[in-house]
Amino acid sequence: MLLLSLALVLGLILSLGLGSVRVPLKQMALILASRIAGVGSNELDPTLATIVWDFRMARSLLAIAVGTALALSGAAFQGLFRNPLADPFVIGASSGAALGATLAIVLSLPLSVGGFGPVPLLAFAGSLIAVVLVYVISHTGNTAPPAVALLLAGTALSSLFSAAVSLLMALHDQRLHQIFFWLLGGLGGKSWPHLWAMLPYLFVSIVLLSVLARPLDLMAFGEETARGMGLAVSKARILIVGAATLATAAAVANSGIIGFIGLVAPHVARLLFGPTHRHLLPASAVTQRRNAFEPTGRQRTCRRAPSLHRAGRRWSRR
């Protein structure tokens, strides 16, 4: 984990010098020393300082935040649905965000709330509303919707929202380029305000998912088994979906729809650190405990089961 963190920091620093304007390493060191440590220098180029700090550093950090949000959400949804093909957009978050952003572009709404402009704001709201609608549609009687019902409702609602986006694009062809450009996803034109607007939502999601790491491990045995271990499955499912959707909505609002990360990153992390969510989720990645579900024999898993049962009972009483 330490080596990966160092590689991430090194990649971040090297990316600051790449682009249409090449920045020498000496200038980059002076710029970082000036902006972070407040050390001034007569050799500092103010133009390069603006390029590196106000544009490249902000976009690089935003890219890390977006990737973190999508990776966390993907790991949470894969654990919740026990489906290796699940991603952050599996229950309609992306289609809802796309419809919200398309409406903002078509209507040219002059809105700005919580650091989000009109397009990110409606994309954020559309993503959350879509997941709420999925829960409402899949709800049957007095019982919480099962995971399969959430998947089916999310697929159906995604198709409906995608059709609505296509209709709006056909009716407003003068906005076609702007809509299509947003749907492709990207971080062009982003700066520090976009990062500051996203960080609170990402922080809340990280905290919630770190608390929910053990319930996710329990649900890996199946909902009935987790319920038998004392876990309040319905409550845990709502919190997991809410936390993962909040991270996804914040990411999509700033970057548009970016696939692949939320699907592949959890699998890579699982290969490196095992399937225990305490290790998969970045908020608790520093905990280097032995994987409770490592397939090295039934005896190890059975020895671990009583502690999982007690953890489930403790979490269900919260």
pLDDT value of residue 199: 92
Number of domains in the chain: 1
Residue 11 lies in a domain: no
Is 208 within 8 Å of 318 (Cβ atoms)?
no
In DSSP notation, 7-66 reads: HHHHHHHHHTT-SSS---HHHHHHHHIIIII----TT--HHHHIIIIIIIIHHHHHHHHH
Element (H, E) at 218: helix 213-219
Residue 43 confidence (pLDDT) above 80: no
Q: Smallest Cα–Cα separation from 265: which of 246, 249, 285, 289?
A: 285
For residues 63-86, average pLDDT: 88
Question: Ranked by mean pLDDT, which of 61-75, 141-155, 304-318 comes out on top?
Answer: 61-75
Residue 3 lies in a domain: no
pLDDT value of residue 163: 93
CA dist 253 → 2, 78, 97, 249 (Å): 30, 22, 7, 6
For residues 125-145, average pLDDT: 81
Residue 225 lies in a domain: yes
Coil vs helix vs strand at 113: strand
Give tens-digit pLDDT for 253-274.
888 888 788 888 888 888 888 7
Residue 6 lies in a domain: no
Element (H, E) at 240: helix 233-255
Residue 31 confidence (pLDDT) above 90: no
pLDDT value of residue 117: 80
CATH code where residue 28 lies: 1.10.3470.10
Residue 89 lies in a domain: yes
Residue 288 lies in a domain: yes
Provide the residue range defining the domain that includes 107: 21-37+44-316
Mean pLDDT of the chain, nearest integer:
80
Residue 5 lies in a domain: no
Share of the chain above pLDDT 90, in %: 13
Q: Smallest Cα–Cα separation from 79: which of 247, 273, 209, 235?
A: 209
Residue 170 lies in a domain: yes
Q: Is 212 exposed, middle or buried (0-12, 13-18, 19+ CB in 10 A)?
A: buried
